[in-house]
Every structure is written in C-alpha cells, then in structure tokens.
Amino acid sequence: MFVRAFSKPLNKFTHMAKGFEAIFKAYYAKLIFFTNKYVNDLHAAEEIVSDAFSFLWEHKEQYQFDEDFKGYLYKMVQNRALNYLKHKKIENEYINYLQKNNLLSETPAFEENPIYKKEFEHYIKEAIEHLPQRCKEVFKLSRFEELRNKEIAQQLQISHKTVERQMTIALEKLRFKLQHLLSFICLLFF
C-alpha cells in the first residue's frame, strides 16, 4: 500500500492528491453510514470518518489511494468506531459508579460555589484564548453561538472540512490544557 516512487515530486503530490480526492468522494458518505451502524450516533460517525480522512491526508505519502485501498479504509474506520465504543463503555461505567455511590449529587453544590466556579471559568477562558486564531474563531462560533459546521464554514468563508479539522484541533488542545482540572475535581470529591 505504499506509494511508488515518481520521477518528479510535483507529479507524486498531484497523483496522491487526486487519488485521495477520488477515495474521499467515493467513500466518505458510505463510511459515515457504515460507522453509524456501530456507534448509532450520526454526529459521532461523521467525527470518526473525518478524523480517519484527516489522518490519511497527513500521512498521504505512505499510501497508494487506489481501488485496493477500499478494504484498508473500511477496516481503519471500523477500528476507530470500536475504539470509540470502548471509550463510551468506560465513560458509562464511570457514571454508573458515581451514581451507585451517590457522588453525582455533590456536583451541583460544587457548581454553585462561586469561588470554584469563577476559577474554573477563568481556566477555561484562558485555555480558549490560547488557541490558534482560526481554531478559536471556529470553537467560539460552535460552542458559544451554537452554529453548525456548515453555518460556520459559510460565515468564515472556509470549507466544511476545515471547520471540522479546526474543531478537532481546538478540542485536542483544550483537553490537553485543561486536564489538570480533572485531577483537581477528583481530589475534591474522592
């Protein structure tokens, strides 16, 4: 599945880009429906497939995007869907644990505490402000103004795929930047 060497780098890139585009156009929608059969959540299925194609684009030099690539593509998306389900199962088990031990009832009291609330808001705002400019714009339009990806793309005059990629980058950076807050919350309650 590795790309054969071409005599000119420009031809190699053009060949990869056209092959990737053809695979994307042929399978993107099909893969979303395929993934949705596993996760039963259309939005999650779109995220999984978009993430898979983003990964492939970032590593395009390693692949030959031809008809034989179809099987690999489906298996890749299937594995990502299964990983998503494993993660969801762990989240559900954790929520069940919290419910079983009556630990969820403490959360509202925590949220009502103005000191903690103000501090958490500060950390979150600071993390958002440290995002790259385009990520910050896309994130704020999505989360604060509750616009859909299509609406954000139109407003910022960028592609739908760019919006999805920028949201993925923003969420990854926020998760990394705010992971210490989860430790703090666990210390408060456990």
Reduced 3-state DSSP string for 87-133: HHHHHHHHHHHHHHCCCCCHHHHHHHCHHHHHHHHHHHHHHHHCCCH
Which residues in 140-153 are b (16+ Cβ under 10 Å) and which e? ebbeeeebebeebb
| 15 vs 108: CA distance, rounded Å | 56
CATH of domain 105-189: 1.10.10.10
Side chain identity at residue 180, one-letter code: H
Return phi, psi of residue 172, to 5°: -65, -45
The rounded percent of the chain whose pLDDT value lies above 70 is 74
Which of 175, 174, 159 has its CA nearest to residue 127? 174
Q: Supply the pLDDT for residue 7.
A: 40
- Nearest in space to 86 (alpha carbons), one of 50, 39, 51: 39
pLDDT score, position 14: 58
How high is the pLDDT of residue 15? 56
pLDDT value for 29: 92
Amino acid 103: pLDDT: 63
Q: How do residues 35-87 score in pLDDT, each as one tens digit? A: 999 999 899 999 999 999 888 888 877 776 666 778 889 999 999 999 998 88
Rounded to a whole number, what is the largest CA-CA distance in the chain? 67
Q: What's residue 22's pLDDT?
A: 81
Q: pLDDT in tens for each of the 190 residues of the chain? A: 444 444 444 455 555 667 778 888 888 999 999 999 999 989 999 999 999 988 888 887 777 666 677 888 999 999 999 999 888 888 777 777 777 766 665 444 445 566 667 777 788 888 888 888 888 898 888 888 888 888 988 988 998 888 888 888 888 888 877 776 666 555 555 4
Fold classification of 9-88 is Rna Polymerase Sigma Factor; Chain: A (1.10.1740)
Structure tokens at 71: 């099987």
Query: Which is it for the CA torsion 111, 115, 121, 124, positive or negative?
Result: negative
User: How buried is residue 161: exposed, middle or buried, by Cβ count under 10 Å (0-12/13-18/19+)?
Assistant: middle
How much is the pLDDT for 49?
A: 93
Residue ranges covered by each domain of the chain? 9-88, 105-189
